[in-house]
Amino acid sequence: MAVDATLPYDDSNIFAKILRGEIPCAKVYEDDHALAFNDINPQAPTHILVIPRGPYVSWDDFSARADDAEIAGFIRAVGAVAREAGLVEPGYRLLANVGPHSHQEVPHLHVHILAGRPLGPMLAK
């Protein structure tokens, strides 16, 4: 079910439960602003999700409401995760789905880090 990114934050979403430790995840990184873990249904050899700790539905919500420290911390965390995973030299793709046309499924902002093979065209034709 695709997310309506204009709805208010719902703290029963699956990533909120992961942040609260109610559901396990394969954690690869955490700091004050972000948590990163392996996607449960990987679309590439490396498929990591990076999420902010704060309650933001989407990139739209985050970029409008988060304070500068949260935004800087989250962006730096995405870069750190990719560097620590050794992805900079071979290359990687970042992807953040927002709303129905993107097919966003989980209503807590997440940036996908995809890597580990040539990833092909950016979008399906």
Catalytic residue numbers read 110
Indicate whether 28 belongs to the interface with ligand 5GP (CB under 6 A): no
Distance CA 28, CA 90 (A): 19
Among 40, 72, 88, 94, which residue interacts with ligand 5GP (rule: CB under 6 A)? 40
- What is the number of residues in the chain? 125
CA triple 39-41-43, angle to 5 deg:
90
Indicate whether 4 belongs to the interface with ligand 5GP (CB under 6 A): no
Taking the least distance from each CB to ligand 5GP, the nearer of 101 and 125 is 101
Residue 11 tokens read as 């703290």
Name the nearest CA neighbour of 26 among 81, 106, 72: 81
Among 39, 65, 71, 85, which residue interacts with ligand 5GP (rule: CB under 6 A)? 39
For residues 41 to 70, the per-residue mask of contacts with ligand 5GP, x marking binding by CB under 6 A and - elsewhere, is x-------x---------------------
Sheet of strand 27-30: strand arrangement: 27-30, 34-38, 46-52, 111-115, 92-95
- Whether 96 contacts 109, CB under 8 Å: yes
Indicate whether 37 belongs to the interface with ligand 5GP (CB under 6 A): yes
Indicate whether 93 belongs to the interface with ligand 5GP (CB under 6 A): no
Name the residues that contact ligand 5GP, by CB under 6 A. Answer: 14, 25, 37, 39-41, 49, 97, 103-106
